Structure 1
Amino acid sequence: MTKPIYVLNGPNLNLLGTREPEIYGHETLDDIRDRLQAQADGRKLDFRQTNSEGTLVDWVQEASREASVLILNAGAYTHTSVALHDALRACTIPLIEVHLSNPAAREAFRQTNYVAPAATASIAGLGSRGYEFALDAAMKMKA
């Protein structure tokens, strides 16, 4: 049986559609999930969101055992979480980092990235389409 692709989302992504739509767009996380599910063409996705750093770390560790590829939008934990960085460094599957906006073009504190050193690939600044590109790449990585 083919392992699922995990799509994990960090803090405040549950607010998509209402939180700073000029930066993050008007789509909700449910809209993104539904579009990815249709794009997956029957491939199993495990799509989750949490505001808890510890839960996200637990899910990364689970993904390393249970998934074929991990797509991760760590939200603000990208810039703050050494614990997440350590979990990602221990992860044994391909990791695709996704950001709706381009953190490199934003506030100075967003220049620190604890996810990128562990990532196979990074997609930023393409809005919700970044998830679609990540899923396309993930399906080609582990056909």
Structure 2
Amino acid sequence: MPESSDPRWRYGVALFPLPPLLQLVASAGLTTFASVDFTSTTGSEGGVLVGIVAFALIVLGSWSAVVLSAAVAASLYLDARAIARHERDAPSRFLAGGVGVVYVAAGADLPFLYAVSVPAIAYYLYRRRRYVPL
């Protein structure tokens, strides 16, 4: 069975806006967690409950961002590689892999790198239409 010229990896690449949003959720959780007063002796359990929810947002938001960043980076590389098999002037899979590495670094611990990697991935998806129509 011949390989399709329309690789389905683009669906993984299209998830690229989610990790920055998950990082924002984790940051909001961190801000909320830092503002909770755990030393209050008024007997209110609301502050403790807010602290637990904020901590859960921090953990789930950050780890989800890391996992999704890795999935987007792998999809980006595999999509560029699949297109390169069928198109002569396709985007460089090595450049796509480099953008993917920067994107994973942004998701892991350096969120300022999203300023470089998110526009690069958006441009990749925009230019991808030239090789494989959506």
TM-score (norm 1): 0.26
TM-score (norm 2): 0.27
